Chain A
Amino acid sequence: MSLLKPFSKLPGLNTANILLVENQEQLQHMLADVLVKETPLTVTVRLAKSLPLPVDESRPRIDLVVFIINLTSELSFQSAEDSLKYLDPGYFLGKVCFMVTNARHASVPTERLDALRRLAASLHCPLLFAEDQTPEGVIGAAERLLTILKVSAGVVPMTTALYLSNLTRCTLPPDIDQPSFD
C-alpha cells in the first residue's frame, strides 16, 4: 500500500498514464477500451477499484486520476471519498477529476449531488458528467477525459494542468430550483 505521488517518477516520451478509480468497475472498462485507441499519444490506462494501490515499483507516473462515481449508489460515493486520502496533495494541482454517472436518475437524492459538488469544489477539481448508458455517451466521456489527460501529461503546449483546472474546477451549485428575475 503506498501513497500515490505525481512527481516521483519521470514522464515517458509521448505517453500519458491515466488511473480510473471506480468502485463498481463497469464504466472504467468501457472508457479504457476507448482511451487506448488514441493514436498519436500512447495512453496507458490503469484500473482500480479503490485506493490505495498495491505496491508496484514498475508503475509509471500517473498523470491523471479519475474517480468515477455512480450517483445512484451511496457506496460508490463513499468509496471515492475514502480513496482520496491516499493521494499525494500534489495531485490536487490539476491532476484529479471526478466523473459522475446517473446524475439525471430519478432515484438520486439531491443531497448526494450537492455533497459531491462541495467535495469537488473544496478540492478544486473538475466535475464531469457522463452518460454511461449509451456507447456515444461513453465515447464522449472518454474524449473529455483525453482532453484533460493531454494537458496534465504535458503534451499540449502553452498550458499546464494547474492552468486548466483553474478554468474548469467545480464551483458550488447555484440554487436554481426556481430562477426568478424579479
Chain B
Amino acid sequence: MDESATRLLQRIVRRTPTEKLKATLEKWDRLTAAQRRSVDFTEPKWALIEKLVDACKENEFKMKHITELEMILVIENPNQGMWYTFQLVDPEDDAQSVDLLQFQEQFKSHLRELKRNVSVKIKKHTDQAVWIRIAWGDSFSRPNHLKPTYVVHQLQSPYIFVSSLTSKLKPLLLQALTFSTRHLAIKDANLSGRKLTAIRDLLMKEYQQVFPTKYPSPLAENNQTLSNLNIEREHAEASANRHRMAGEAFGDGTLPELQFAVYKMETKFKDPTNVAMTERDEPFRCVVKFSSTNLLESLRHCAASGLASTPVTPLLSSIPLKGRNYFVITDNAPGAASRAQQPQI
C-alpha cells in the first residue's frame, strides 16, 4: 500500500463518524473477520486510524480497494457536498438501448481519449443509478485520489448529477458523457443543492403534487381542524384559498430539500424620478438569493401564511415547476412583465 492510499484511507476514516464506520467496513467486506473484530470502535479516532492502516497494509491493499471504500461511503451518504445537474438533449436513435456494459466501456474509452492519467471507477447502485468516481491526473502526474469527481446517472434518463468538478475539466467530462450515452448535446440544468436525493426527486417529480382543479373547495375530511364551536376564524375562506394556491404551486406533502434559489436580474432600471439611472444603457444588474434549510417548504409557508402574495408569482413557482434554482431575469419586451428566461450558469 503506497502513501497516497494510506492518506486517502486516513482521510476517509477521519471524516466518517465512528458509528457509520462500522457498517461501512462490513459492507466493504475486504477485511477478514478477525481483523474486523480486532477494531475497537470506542477508541479515539487516531488509534482507530492506526489500526485500520495496519490492517490494510497487512492485506496489501491497493488504491483501488481504498477508493472502493470511499465509493461505498459516498453512495451511502449522497447528501454531502454540492451537486450540480446537467441535462442531456438530442438523443440519437440508439440512445434508448444503451446498457450498462456498453456505457461503461464507451465512457472509459472516451474519457481516456480526452485526458491521460484518469482513474475511473464505475459502480451500479441498487436503485438503478450508475455511480462514477473519477480521479483526475494530467499528462505528467498520477491521478489525484484526494479530489475525485463523482457523477451519478440513471441510464435512459436525461439527467446527470455531478459533484466537485472544476470548470477546466467540465467540458471533457460532459463530452465523454454525451458520447457514451449516445446523445448529441448536453446543457446545464440550472439546479444545484447539497442533497442529491432532493435534487433527483425534484427533477423526477417524485414528490406529492397538487393539480389545479375547477372545484377549489377542499375536501371535507382534509379540514381536520374541527375546533371548538366558540372559535371562529374570520378569514377562514381567504386562508383556505391561500393554502390551496400554495399547495398548487409547491405540492402538499413533504418537499425536496433545496438550500437556495438564485435570481440574477439584468433588467432596465425604471424610476421616473431617477433619470440618471433610468437612462443608462447598461442593464441594471442585481442578484437575489433566497436560502433556507428547506427552501421550498419555506416558500410554501410564506404563501400559505400570506407573507408572499397569492397566487404565487411564477418566479417562485417555477422552481418546482421547471426543476431549477438558478434564473436569469431579463426584460422581455418593453412594458411586458419580466419573466424568467434564458437561464444559464
A residues with a Cβ closer than 8 A to B are: 19, 23-25, 32-33, 36, 42-50, 53-54, 56, 75
How many residues on the B side are at the interface (Cβ–Cβ under 8 A)? 14
**Which A residue's beta carbon lies closest to that of B242?**
A49
Selected from B228, B233, B307, the residue in CB contact (under 8 A) with A33 is B228
Is B127 positioned at the interface, with any CB of A under 8 Å from its CB? no
In the complex, which residue of chain A has the Cβ closest to the Cβ of B228?
Answer: A36
Report the bound CA distance from A44 to B227 in whole Å: 12
Given known contacts A25-B239, A36-B228, is B305 in contact with A48 (CB within 8 Å)?
Answer: no
A89 to chain B, nearest CB (A): 21
Whether a CB of chain A sits under 8 angstroms from the CB of B81 is: no
Q: Given the complex of chains A and B, what is the CA–CA distance between A54 and B232 in angstroms?
A: 13
A23 proximity list for chain B (CB < 8 A):
306
Distance of B60 from chain A, by nearest CB (Å): 59
Contacts of A19 in B (CB 8 A): 234
The verdict on A45 contacting B234 (CB below 8 Å), with A24-B305, A25-B305 known, is no
Contact of A44 with B230 at beta-carbon distance under 8 Å, contacts A25-B239, A49-B235 already known: yes
* Contact of A45 (CB < 8 Å), options: B232, B238, B305, B306: B232
Contact B239 A36 (CB under 8 A): no
Q: With A24-B305, A25-B239, A75-B307 in contact, do A46 and B234 touch (Cβ < 8 Å)?
A: yes
Cα–Cα, bound, A49→B239 (Å): 9
State in angstroms the CA–CA spacing of A42 and B231 once bound together.
Answer: 11
Question: A42, A47, A56 — which one has the most chain B CB atoms within 10 A of its CB?
Answer: A47
CB pair A44 B306 closer than 8 Å:
no
Smallest Cβ distance from B303 to chain A, in angstroms? 14
Which of A46, A49, A50 is B232 in contact with, Cβ under 8 Å?
A46
Q: In the complex, what residues of A have CB within 8 A of residue B305's CB?
A: 24-25
